[in-house]
Amino acid sequence: MCGIAGFYGDLKKEQSVSTLQHMLTRIKHRGPDQSGVYVSNKVGLGSVRLSIIDLSSGVMPISNQDDSLWIVFNGEIYNYVELREDLLQKKYSFKTQSDTEVILHLYAEYGPECLNKLNGQFAIAIWDKHKEELFLARDRVGIRPLFYSQNDNVFLFASEIKSFLEYPEINLKFSNKALSEYVTFWTALSPNTVFEDVFEVPPGTYMLINSEEVKSVIYWELPIVKPADYEFTNLEDATKAFEDIFLDSIKLRLRADVPVAAYLSGGIDSSITTSFIKQVSPKKLRTFSIGFTEKDFDESSYQNIAASYFNTEHSSVTCSEKDISNHFKDVVWFAEAPLLRTAPTPMSLLSKSVKDQNIKVVITGEGADELLGGYNIFKETKIKHFWAKDPNSKYRPLLLKRLYPYLPQISKSSSNMLKMFFGYKLNETQSPIYSHLLRWHNTSRIKNYFSNTIKENIKDYSPIENLENQLESRLKDFDYLTKAQWLEIHLFMSGYLLSSQGDRMGMANSIEGRYPFLDHRVIEFCMKLHPDLKLKGLNEKYLLKKMMVGRLPEEILNRSKQAYRAPIRSLFVSNDLPEYLKTMLSEDYIKEFGVFNPEHVKNLQAKITSNKGVSEIDNMAMTAILSIQILYDLFINKSIPKLNPDQLIALDKIIIE
């Protein structure tokens, strides 16, 4: 796993090496083992490397035989062994044993079509000297990040936005439109980021940049099928087919020249991945988990059951409220985006505990909930479709109590109260975003805390209406679950889960996460399943549970779904709050940055301090306000210290042409 950065345009070579060195130093956490640059009059490519495959000879940038193609690459290509064999038969020769060089030769042979042959997670940059063309590509579901921007006549790219701060005369500012999207969807609509004129290469997309154009092409889309085209309706057949694909996905993700560990959360997803890992490799497995001092969030008892059952060498770290507040600034720095939950912070602490044990790679269970109906929002949608057929029913809304036993304001509500809360646009079942209308409507109330200037700027922009219009024809005639899954996978999974909780928190500690449920073959299989094989009644991940009978502890197999959450409550209004966070929430800084209304923020702080009638939205608003204030300070105010010469990474490889 690595970090990459670079630029394309009319360049001065003598300045390019230094600029790349600065850009790479900002992301050295992504690749502390080796670094290198390639520069010419037209392009600069740089890489910092976390060595996992071919530890000795895989230093980037790497060229092909005649030096006409140069590559820097962040990620892993799991089927590189098989692809290499095919290329050897086509008379390609190799200088390294790395998966990076395999990509380069594939590109020489097939051009952008080579992406369809890759099984992995990646952000790729290839320079074609003959065409004077830069090729950028990102994996199918956006596991690895890749951002770009244009400054005068120079096109910039990097694994993380903070690299752009080291390019001369770059000054970032917030996109008010994207801020509105973040406090609605928890993410921005791709390719937007929170910063104006900074964009992501969308998942499943490649770009070609040359003197004539900047071209963006979608090479993969989430495959969804209409009810008449479900490929699997029989549980036994589906289970056998899934197990074959998933087992191969696990085998591929165990390929590494360093030890591979696993996260073991105590839930069914991580337990399944651990079970399959043990099936492939019975040797002692290192597993890691996070616990909480606050009982409502802690799953340690289930983690211990799983670790004992699989006989793993298990390590656990415990997270307190104080840990969250103490590390929140760093978490925002690495997330590079507004946060509405504190959950990324414990994930950062967990990945640090892995690093402290000298492990570089962990396998995790992300993706199972999205692909196999694991989230409560899927059950909620199913119940609301049922309720909408009899809107005046007294009993149908009561089914919603079963979904949120950990939220007293719901689990103790009367039928009338549930109707008031969940009945928003109940009858609009044909909307392509029906499943998420209530969630996004509630979350968007955070916009009330914006300053009058920003409110005026975004008054004519409705993120929800905009998205609904975009998807009206795209999701027409698909079943309720497929539509809800499409939204979760495209927005929440890629834009939040895999970034703020996945790549960013792992790579902040030089830890690579691997996700067997997100093998594109597993994704494509799951999207062809009949909905009842995913969500049977209100029993989530039905196929997985049936498949694992007798192979997991009963306590884990049959436990109620518990969402991964972390404490918020009075976290950011306590007397123990670090001075930096107090400063960011002070009236002076709220006024100076101009994003929020100082009076409204003050009232929210008072409400949370009193602990009277504090809602989930209040907690999310407080987290959003603080994270956005920190983002402004670090990225726009540039409060981060400048890099001193002795802080710059030493470049192991410098190629100047």
Q: What angle do CA 364, 365, 368 make, to 5 degrees?
A: 160
Distance, C-alpha 32 to centroid of its chain: 22
CA distances for 390 relative to 217, 387, 437, 536, angstroms: 45, 5, 19, 21
Q: Tokens for 166, please give them.
A: 């080291």
Neighbours of 544 (CB within 10 A): 25
| 39 three-class SS | strand
Q: How far apart are the first and last CA of the chain?
A: 27
Tokens of 165: 């701060």
The pair of three-digit structure tokens given for residue 217, joined into one six-digit string: 């092409």
CB count, 10 Å around CB of 55? 14
Distances (CA, A) of 152 to 170, 316, 475: 10, 49, 39
- In angstroms, the CA 215 to CA 193 distance is 19
Q: Which two tokens stand for residue 528?
A: 């062809």
Burial environment of residue 352 by CB neighbours within 10 A (0 to 12, 13 to 18, 19 or more): middle
Active-site entry in 2, 114, 319, 526: 2
What SS3 class is residue 282? coil
Which residues fall within 8 angstroms of residue 250, CB to CB, at 6 or more apart? 273, 276, 277, 279, 280, 363, 516
Distance CA 545, CA 562 (A): 15
- Peptide bond preceding 191 in cis form (omega within 30 of 0): yes
Cβ 566 vs Cβ 342: under 8 Å:
yes
The CA distance from 247 to 279, in Å, is: 9
Q: Is 526 marked active-site?
A: no
Residue 363, burial from CB neighbour count under 10 angstroms (0-12, 13-18, 19+): buried
Q: By CB neighbour count within 10 A (0-12 exposed, 13-18 middle, 19+ buried), where does 328 fall?
A: buried
- DSSP state, 115? G
Instruction: Please name the amino acid found at residue 438.
Output: L
- Check: CB of residue 25 under 8 Å from CB of residue 69: no
Residues annotated catalytic, as ranges: 2
